[in-house]
Amino acid sequence: MKWSIINKQKLYNGFYKLSAVQLQHELFAGGQSKILRRELIDRGQAVAVLPYDPISDEIVLIEQFRIGAGGAENDPWVIEVIAGYKESGELTEEVVHREAYEEAGCRVTDLLPMFKYYSSPGGSNEQIQIFLGRTQSSHINGIHGLDEEGEDIKVHVISSQQAFDWLDSGKIDSAAPIIALQWFRLNYQRIRKNWLS
Protein backbone atom coordinates (compact mmCIF):
# COMPACT_ATOMS: atom_id res chain seq x y z
CA MET A 1 0.00 0.00 0.00
CA LYS A 2 1.17 3.53 -0.70
CA TRP A 3 1.10 6.74 1.29
CA SER A 4 2.48 10.24 0.84
CA ILE A 5 3.34 13.27 2.91
CA ILE A 6 1.66 16.40 1.59
CA ASN A 7 3.20 18.85 4.06
CA LYS A 8 5.44 18.66 7.12
CA GLN A 9 5.91 21.59 9.49
CA LYS A 10 8.25 21.63 12.47
CA LEU A 11 6.33 22.74 15.57
CA TYR A 12 9.00 22.30 18.24
CA ASN A 13 12.73 21.60 18.33
CA GLY A 14 13.86 20.86 21.88
CA PHE A 15 14.74 17.68 23.80
CA TYR A 16 12.40 16.05 21.30
CA LYS A 17 11.30 17.31 17.90
CA LEU A 18 7.62 17.67 17.08
CA SER A 19 6.20 18.07 13.58
CA ALA A 20 2.72 18.51 12.14
CA VAL A 21 2.31 16.21 9.16
CA GLN A 22 -0.41 16.27 6.52
CA LEU A 23 -0.64 12.94 4.73
CA GLN A 24 -2.80 10.70 2.65
CA HIS A 25 -2.75 6.91 2.29
CA GLU A 26 -4.42 4.10 0.39
CA LEU A 27 -7.38 2.43 2.10
CA PHE A 28 -7.77 -1.33 2.63
CA ALA A 29 -11.13 -1.19 0.79
CA GLY A 30 -9.57 0.76 -2.09
CA GLY A 31 -9.26 4.44 -2.85
CA GLN A 32 -7.53 7.16 -0.83
CA SER A 33 -8.02 8.45 2.69
CA LYS A 34 -8.99 12.04 3.23
CA ILE A 35 -6.05 14.34 3.99
CA LEU A 36 -5.09 13.59 7.58
CA ARG A 37 -3.18 15.75 10.06
CA ARG A 38 -0.97 13.96 12.58
CA GLU A 39 1.59 15.18 15.07
CA LEU A 40 4.86 13.22 14.95
CA ILE A 41 7.44 13.09 17.73
CA ASP A 42 10.82 12.58 16.08
CA ARG A 43 12.88 10.50 18.48
CA GLY A 44 15.00 8.53 16.04
CA GLN A 45 16.72 5.19 16.57
CA ALA A 46 17.35 3.92 20.10
CA VAL A 47 19.48 1.00 21.17
CA ALA A 48 19.16 -0.90 24.45
CA VAL A 49 21.14 -3.65 26.15
CA LEU A 50 20.44 -6.03 29.02
CA PRO A 51 23.85 -6.97 30.47
CA TYR A 52 24.05 -10.50 31.90
CA ASP A 53 26.83 -12.21 33.84
CA PRO A 54 26.45 -15.98 33.32
CA ILE A 55 29.07 -16.80 35.99
CA SER A 56 27.22 -15.04 38.83
CA ASP A 57 23.82 -15.37 37.11
CA GLU A 58 23.23 -11.63 37.56
CA ILE A 59 21.47 -8.99 35.48
CA VAL A 60 22.41 -5.30 35.33
CA LEU A 61 19.49 -2.86 35.39
CA ILE A 62 19.41 0.88 35.94
CA GLU A 63 17.03 3.27 37.69
CA GLN A 64 16.43 6.91 36.81
CA PHE A 65 13.87 9.70 36.94
CA ARG A 66 11.38 9.74 34.03
CA ILE A 67 8.92 12.62 33.69
CA GLY A 68 6.40 10.48 31.79
CA ALA A 69 6.03 8.13 34.76
CA GLY A 70 5.34 10.96 37.21
CA GLY A 71 1.56 10.76 37.45
CA ALA A 72 -0.29 11.44 40.70
CA GLU A 73 -0.13 7.82 41.90
CA ASN A 74 3.16 6.84 40.32
CA ASP A 75 6.78 6.93 41.35
CA PRO A 76 8.74 8.66 38.54
CA TRP A 77 11.91 6.62 39.20
CA VAL A 78 11.83 3.77 36.70
CA ILE A 79 13.78 0.49 36.49
CA GLU A 80 15.13 0.19 32.95
CA VAL A 81 17.63 -1.47 30.67
CA ILE A 82 20.62 0.58 29.53
CA ALA A 83 19.68 2.56 26.41
CA GLY A 84 20.50 5.55 24.27
CA TYR A 85 20.01 7.11 20.87
CA LYS A 86 22.16 6.64 17.81
CA GLU A 87 24.13 9.71 16.84
CA SER A 88 24.75 10.57 13.20
CA GLY A 89 27.05 7.98 11.60
CA GLU A 90 27.22 5.84 14.74
CA LEU A 91 26.94 2.04 14.46
CA THR A 92 24.40 0.22 16.61
CA GLU A 93 27.10 -1.72 18.48
CA GLU A 94 28.94 1.52 19.22
CA VAL A 95 25.82 2.88 20.92
CA VAL A 96 25.57 -0.25 23.07
CA HIS A 97 29.17 0.04 24.25
CA ARG A 98 29.00 3.81 24.81
CA GLU A 99 25.75 3.72 26.76
CA ALA A 100 26.71 0.68 28.84
CA TYR A 101 29.81 2.48 30.05
CA GLU A 102 28.14 5.90 30.53
CA GLU A 103 25.06 4.61 32.34
CA ALA A 104 26.49 1.71 34.37
CA GLY A 105 30.29 1.64 34.15
CA CYS A 106 29.74 -1.64 32.35
CA ARG A 107 31.56 -3.38 29.51
CA VAL A 108 29.60 -5.82 27.32
CA THR A 109 30.59 -8.45 24.76
CA ASP A 110 28.87 -11.22 22.78
CA LEU A 111 25.89 -9.07 21.79
CA LEU A 112 22.78 -11.09 20.91
CA PRO A 113 19.95 -9.26 19.16
CA MET A 114 16.53 -9.70 20.79
CA PHE A 115 13.99 -7.47 19.04
CA LYS A 116 13.67 -4.28 17.03
CA TYR A 117 10.30 -2.58 17.47
CA TYR A 118 8.44 0.74 17.31
CA SER A 119 7.81 2.04 20.82
CA SER A 120 4.66 4.06 20.04
CA PRO A 121 4.01 4.28 16.28
CA GLY A 122 0.75 6.17 16.66
CA GLY A 123 2.70 9.38 17.23
CA SER A 124 6.43 8.67 17.30
CA ASN A 125 8.98 7.31 14.83
CA GLU A 126 11.19 5.91 17.61
CA GLN A 127 12.47 2.41 16.93
CA ILE A 128 14.29 0.48 19.66
CA GLN A 129 16.70 -2.37 19.07
CA ILE A 130 17.39 -4.50 22.16
CA PHE A 131 20.41 -6.73 22.76
CA LEU A 132 21.54 -9.13 25.44
CA GLY A 133 25.19 -8.49 26.30
CA ARG A 134 27.63 -10.56 28.30
CA THR A 135 29.34 -8.78 31.19
CA GLN A 136 31.34 -9.41 34.35
CA SER A 137 29.21 -7.91 37.11
CA SER A 138 31.41 -8.02 40.25
CA HIS A 139 32.76 -4.48 39.71
CA ILE A 140 29.50 -2.86 38.56
CA ASN A 141 27.77 -0.55 41.05
CA GLY A 142 27.20 3.07 42.02
CA ILE A 143 25.69 6.16 40.44
CA HIS A 144 26.42 7.00 36.80
CA GLY A 145 25.36 9.22 33.91
CA LEU A 146 26.53 12.37 32.20
CA ASP A 147 26.21 15.69 34.05
CA GLU A 148 25.72 17.58 30.78
CA GLU A 149 22.66 15.42 30.06
CA GLY A 150 21.28 15.79 33.59
CA GLU A 151 21.58 12.06 34.20
CA ASP A 152 21.43 10.58 37.70
CA ILE A 153 21.44 6.81 37.17
CA LYS A 154 21.53 4.19 39.91
CA VAL A 155 22.81 0.73 38.97
CA HIS A 156 21.15 -2.45 40.22
CA VAL A 157 23.02 -5.76 39.93
CA ILE A 158 20.52 -8.47 40.83
CA SER A 159 20.09 -12.20 40.35
CA SER A 160 18.17 -13.38 37.31
CA GLN A 161 15.49 -14.74 39.63
CA GLN A 162 15.10 -11.37 41.36
CA ALA A 163 14.78 -9.69 37.95
CA PHE A 164 12.04 -12.17 37.02
CA ASP A 165 10.32 -11.50 40.38
CA TRP A 166 10.47 -7.72 39.73
CA LEU A 167 8.99 -8.35 36.30
CA ASP A 168 6.17 -10.54 37.61
CA SER A 169 5.31 -8.18 40.49
CA GLY A 170 5.04 -5.12 38.23
CA LYS A 171 8.05 -3.36 39.78
CA ILE A 172 9.39 -3.22 36.23
CA ASP A 173 6.73 -1.32 34.30
CA SER A 174 8.21 0.12 31.13
CA ALA A 175 8.25 -1.59 27.74
CA ALA A 176 11.94 -2.14 26.92
CA PRO A 177 12.90 -3.94 30.16
CA ILE A 178 9.68 -5.99 30.06
CA ILE A 179 10.43 -7.09 26.50
CA ALA A 180 14.10 -7.76 27.27
CA LEU A 181 13.42 -9.77 30.42
CA GLN A 182 10.64 -11.79 28.83
CA TRP A 183 12.97 -12.69 25.94
CA PHE A 184 15.76 -13.51 28.39
CA ARG A 185 13.49 -15.73 30.49
CA LEU A 186 12.38 -17.65 27.37
CA ASN A 187 16.01 -18.14 26.28
CA TYR A 188 17.58 -18.43 29.75
CA GLN A 189 18.65 -22.09 29.63
CA ARG A 190 20.06 -21.81 26.10
CA ILE A 191 22.04 -18.65 26.96
CA ARG A 192 23.50 -20.20 30.11
CA LYS A 193 24.42 -23.39 28.27
CA ASN A 194 26.15 -21.50 25.44
CA TRP A 195 27.93 -18.93 27.60
CA LEU A 196 29.08 -21.34 30.30
CA SER A 197 30.39 -24.06 27.93
SS (HEC) of the chain: CCEEEEEEEEEEECCCEEEEEEEEEECCCCCECCCEEEEEEECCEEEEEEEEECCCCEEEEEEEECHHHCCCCCCCEEEECEEEECCCCCCHHHHHHHHHHHHHCCCCEEEEEEEEEECCCCCECCEEEEEEEECCHHHCCCEECCHHHCCCEEEEEEEHHHHHHHHHHCCCCCHHHHHHHHHHHHHHHHHHHHHHC
Q: Return d(Cα 54, Cα 39) in angstroms, integer.
A: 44
Q: Which residues are catalytic?
A: 149
List Cα–Cα distances, 41 to 10, 147, 157, in angstroms: 10, 25, 33
CB 62, CB 152: distance < 8 Å: no
